[in-house]
Amino acid sequence: MTQEKLMKDRMIRAIVLFGITLIALLVFIGLYIDETHRVQEQYRTQFRTYLVQTSESISSYLDNEGDLPLRYRRILSDFSSANSFGFLLESLTEDQKRSINELQACLMKYPEQMQDKKRLEAMKTAVDDMGNNLDKGFTEAGAVVDSVDKKGH
């Protein structure tokens, strides 16, 4: 009888330990998911912030306020930061991320073409729409990229 009681106690302890471990695992998973959502929201906030700054930098450039090369570098810097945070967002599709990346590449490789007033206005519209979480902003960004002559400067 003692052997049977001893085995029964061990089995009860094993079941209780399994239950506690299972509860701890579920709590850990819940905390992980919550933290992942929180981090993604921070990335989304930073992405939007840099898009707004890019839009303001484009407006400043178009209004001819001060040193234009400096203003253009500011556009490039702000948009590069937005691109970095956009890359980290899980909510953006690969095509949307590619669109942002291609627009940044055009800003870097073809500054003479990208400084055109019409192109910058189109980019500002695209950036504003992306910042407002509108899918058409990515399509507009693609149109700006397509308007650049990638064989020339």
d(CA 76, CA 91): 24
Q: Indicate whether 109 belongs to any domain.
A: yes
Q: Indicate whether 153 belongs to any domain.
A: no
Q: Does pLDDT of 143 surpass 60?
A: yes
Q: Tell me, what's the pLDDT at 53?
A: 95
Long-range contact set of residues 91-95: C-beta below 8 Å, sequence gap at least 24: 91/40, 91/44, 95/138
153 or 123, higher pLDDT? 123
Instruction: Tell how far CA 12 is from the center of its chain.
Output: 49
Q: Indicate whether 151 belongs to any domain.
A: no
Instruction: Kindly report, residue by residue over 84-97, the tens digit of the pLDDT.
Output: 999 999 999 999 99
Closest Cα to residue 103, out of 118, 124, 131? 124
What's the domain count of the chain? 1
Q: What is the CATH number of the domain that holds 33?
A: 1.20.120
Q: Does pLDDT of 74 surpass 60?
A: yes
Instruction: Kindly report, residue by residue over 21-35, the tens digit of the pLDDT.
Output: 999 999 999 999 999
Q: Indicate whether 133 belongs to any domain.
A: yes
Q: Indicate whether 35 belongs to any domain.
A: yes
d(CA 113, CA 107): 9
The overall average pLDDT reported for the chain is: 91
Residues of the domain holding 92: 2-146
